[in-house]
Amino acid sequence: MRTKFNINDINNTDDLPVVQVFGSRIEAEIAKSYLGSFGIKTEIFSDDAGQSIVSLQSARGVKLLTSPKNVKKARRLLSKKYPSDEQS
């Protein structure tokens, strides 16, 4: 029996596909909020020493992750020029 995917049960971010890589955490937070408005749960991963070395965000990127079933829809929503026309 297949269980429903719960993003909070994932212990290893390597198990989640990357929706997009951003140059800063704030950009990733905006995208996370936007996708959340469509019911898509996401997680942010950034190797920036616990946000203490912010310059690492632009050097290494900030990854926005989601479940495998939502990755295509999330990428489509973020790639739209005028995403307010999208229906969930």
Q: What's this model's pTM, rounded to 2 decimal places? A: 0.68
What is the domain partition of the chain in residue ranges?
15-78
pLDDT over 80 at 23, yes or no = yes
Per-position b or e across 52-61, b if 16+ CB within 10 A of its CB: eeeeebeeeb
CATH fold of 15-78 reads Alpha-Beta Plaits (3.30.70)
For the stretch 31-69, pLDDT in tens is: 999 999 999 999 988 765 555 555 554 556 788 999 999
- Given this model, what pLDDT does residue 28 score? 92
Query: Which residue, among 64, 24, 10, has the nearest Cα to 42 in the 3D structure?
Result: 64
